[in-house]
């Protein structure tokens, strides 16, 4: 991971911690709309999230929203390895 990607000033990055949709409402655009609503007023340059690589639907959604994988991490002790993903908001009006 390059130094510019690691640079942080306390305001640069919005950390998305949880985004879940109950089964009956999946594949209806609910997650996308929640994601857009949560980020609507952010002044951050980017969004960072950790995603399990085995949850293919979530991975596909994140990639379709513009996220890219920048690394891997165990987000907490004992956690399985997650993909670290970033969405650059500078070019999207965010």
* CA angle (69 as vertex; 67, 48 as ends), nearest 5: 60
3-state DSSP helix/strand/coil percent for the chain, to nearest 5?
30, 25, 50
Placement of tokens 């952010």 in the chain: 42
User: Which residues of the chain, if any, have pLDDT below 50?
Assistant: 93-94
3-state secondary structure 14-37: EECCCCCCCHHHCCCCHHHHHHHH
Question: How high is the pLDDT of residue 6?
Answer: 72
Please provide the CATH number assigned to the domain covering 3-88: 3.40.630.30
Question: How high is the pLDDT of residue 15?
Answer: 95
Question: How high is the pLDDT of residue 1?
Answer: 61
Question: Are 89 and 19 within 8 A, CB to CB?
Answer: no
Question: How high is the pLDDT of residue 94?
Answer: 46
């Amino acid at each position: 991971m390059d130094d510019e990607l690691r640079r942080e000033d306390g305001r640069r990055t919005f950390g998305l911690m949880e985004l879940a949709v109950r089964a009956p409402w999946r594949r209806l655009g609910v997650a996308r709309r929640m994601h857009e609503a949560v980020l609507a007023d952010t002044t951050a340059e980017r969004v960072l999230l950790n995603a399990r690589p085995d949850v293919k639907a979530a991975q596909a959604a994140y990639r379709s929203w513009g996220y890219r994988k920048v690394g891997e991490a165990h987000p907490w002790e004992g956690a399985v390895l997650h993909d670290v993903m970033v969405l650059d908001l500078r070019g999207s009006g965010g």
